[in-house]
Amino acid sequence: MARLIPVSEWAVEMFGEKHRPHANTLLRWIHGGRIRPHPKKVGRTYFVEPSAEYFDATADLLERML
């Protein structure tokens, strides 16, 4: 099993320090299922696999339609 990292650290790795999403945006993405594989909540913090990716269902649908 892969080591889990906090979602805030994942966001910095994925988008960079300058362009990382706000904490409220990350929570919306978690609750909306936009981070795959889905983060796990341990206590008050969400953790995710380092290989997780942002998934936008709308963009995926449009791509499949075209």
Q: Is the pLDDT of residue 1 over 70?
A: no
User: 27-53: per-residue pLDDT in tens?
Assistant: 999 999 999 999 999 999 999 999 999
Q: What are phi and psi of 63, to 5 degrees?
A: -65, -40
Q: What are phi and psi of 45, to 5 degrees?
A: -115, 140
Query: Count of domains in the chain?
Result: 1
CA angle 27, 8, 22 (to 5 degrees): 55
For residue 56, what pLDDT is reported?
A: 80
- d(CA 66, CA 49) in angstroms, rounded, equals 31
| Range with top average pLDDT, 2-6, 11-15, 54-58 | 11-15
State the pTM of this model: 0.82
- Which domain CATH number covers 35? 1.10.1660.20
Domain that holds residue 57: 5-65
